[in-house]
Structure 1
Amino acid sequence: MAREYARYLSVTHRDPDWHKLSTAHHDCYMALLSSEDLTWAGVAPYMPARYAGLASDLNEKRVLKLWSELEAARMIVVDVATGEVLARTFLRYDNVLAKPNLTKAFVTAFLKVRSEKVKKVVRLELSKLYQEYPDLAGWKQIEELLPELFQELFQEHGR
């Protein structure tokens, strides 16, 4: 199932980290979140030139600067070597693990991620979610489809 829209949560406006960012950062981040190329793992192809074409005042150099600053703010993770960009909290705010079918789509997408750097951050985000929401419906799919990852989460949290 392809994504048709991006979630923009009103709690964003209460996030002090979000307040520290400029409007250009907000727009750049939302362009990533709403990209039709963003997978259910929260990963998009590293194509700054494509994003530069989304606004008349953007160019590739500016996108690269904004992405660098978003990465420093821990909003995204970039791996130039593998050509991947991760929207770090995508799984949390898109409620991917709340729905079994979306969790299956996540697993499919996660298995295609080439970047060890990105995978490490996704595992960390999954760990946080597991600790906070151990009863999400999607954990069953993770356990079935990625047993080694589920075991890692299970051992880490003593369940």
Structure 2
Amino acid sequence: MARSHAQIQFSIWSNKEFRGLSERAQRMYLVLFGQKDVNNAGVLPWLPTRWAKYCKDTTPTDIEAAVAELEEHRFVYVDTDTDELLIRSFIRGDGVIKQPNVFKNALKCAELVESERLRRVLASELRGLRRRDAEAVADRIDPNPSETPTEGFENPSETLPEPLNPSRIPREPRGEGVGEGEKSPTADGDLGGRVRAYTHARAREQVPPPPHCPKHPDGTDAPCRPCGTARQRRVDWDVEQNRLAALIRSTEARERAELRAQAIAECSMCDDDGYDNGVLCDHDPERAERASRFVARIKSDLRKPKGAA
């Protein structure tokens, strides 16, 4: 049965990370939360063209940019290969966990997620619920929790506060709307390219720190303060690596959106949404002429006598 309403917690307006989002990203989050086809695990189809139609001033490009900002701050996760979007804190934020039968359905929905990336994120959220049934499903959809992007977050409705930077490494520039005075990556890839190059290099250069101290390379059940420090260092490293990966994805998504907007602006054939007579425009003014030449050549070949060269 389709949803008839959504629950938005009042506490969201006290969330520092949410208040730091741009207006378009905040609106996009509320739009996503209010979709009738969100399942009880917080997963819905990736439909930027449909969502753009909810406001006459919004284009699919605007939607993609807003979602990219939300993903950078871990409010949502997207997999365009499977066309799925996950609202990370949906199970708690929409009150699913408070309804036993609805929660059972949410666990079933979690196991039906196609995207491996979204399954890892969702497994982390389920483990954070501290319930046996949720942890059992998490273990099935993500057998390796050490790779989960959101592992270790106490409050699933919150994201990492800005002052918290476990690796103590300076943060890279973020996109438009994320911070006052910061610039969005341009279509020529200047800022975006430098961000990706920097983050890719960081990911290649860093070696995962061992999760145990040198005295206990295979771990120990005995109390060991150096092992505890090593484990925390490894958790910090995993969090930082996943943050870098999210930054790369959001930068690339923003660049794609800006390139598409530039192509639409320079095209004389399509409308503001990139459509030419109801069909997605390829911005190729010579397309009709090439098609005409091709048809003429086919007709000419058909008129030739059989056996003629």
1:57 aligns with 2:51: no
Tell me by how many angstroms 1:95 deviates: 2.4
Structure 1 pair 147–25 and aligned structure 2 pair: CA distance change class (3 A): closer
Structure 1: distance between partners of 2:117 and 2:25 = 22
Structure 1 pair 101–61 and aligned structure 2 pair: CA distance change class (3 A): same
Tell me by how many angstroms 1:107 deviates: 2.1
Structure 2: distance between partners of 1:108 and 1:95 = 17
Structure 2: distance between partners of 1:17 and 1:146 = 26
Equivalent pair of 2:76/2:85 in contact (CA under 8 Å)? yes
Partner of 1:114: 114
Percent of aligned positions that are identical:
29
Partner of 2:43: 43
Equivalent pair of 2:96/2:103 in contact (CA under 8 Å)? yes
Query: Within 5 A, what are the aligned runs for 1:121-136?
Result: 121-130=121-130
Tell me by how many angstroms 1:140 deviates: 6.3
TM-score (norm 1): 0.81
Secondary structure of the structure 2 residue equivalent to 1:78 = strand
Higher relative contact order (CA 8 A, sep 6+): 1
Secondary structure of the structure 1 residue equivalent to 2:6 = coil
Tell me by how many angstroms 1:68 deviates: 0.7
Tell me by how many angstroms 1:152 deviates: 8.9
Structure 2: distance between partners of 1:121 and 1:147 = 12
Structure 1: distance between partners of 2:138 and 2:82 = 22
- The structure where helix makes up a greater share of residues is 1
Spell out, residue by residue over 1:12-44, the C-alpha distance to the aligned partner (whole angstroms, 9 max, x if none). 111100110122111111111110111101001
Structure 2: distance between partners of 1:89 and 1:146 = 15
Structure 1: distance between partners of 2:102 and 2:20 = 32
Structure 1 pair 145–128 and aligned structure 2 pair: CA distance change class (3 A): closer
Tell me by how many angstroms 1:142 deviates: 4.3
Residue 45 of structure 1 aligns with an amino acid whose one-letter code is P
Partner of 2:91: 91
Equivalent pair of 1:3/1:36 in contact (CA under 8 Å)? yes
Equivalent pair of 1:88/1:121 in contact (CA under 8 Å)? yes
Residue 65 of structure 2 aligns with an amino acid whose one-letter code is K
Secondary structure of the structure 1 residue equivalent to 2:128 = helix
Q: Which runs of 5+ in 1 are unaligned?
A: 131-138, 154-159
Partner of 2:29: 29
Instruction: Give the superposed CA RMSD.
Output: 2.3
Structure 1 pair 2–46 and aligned structure 2 pair: CA distance change class (3 A): same
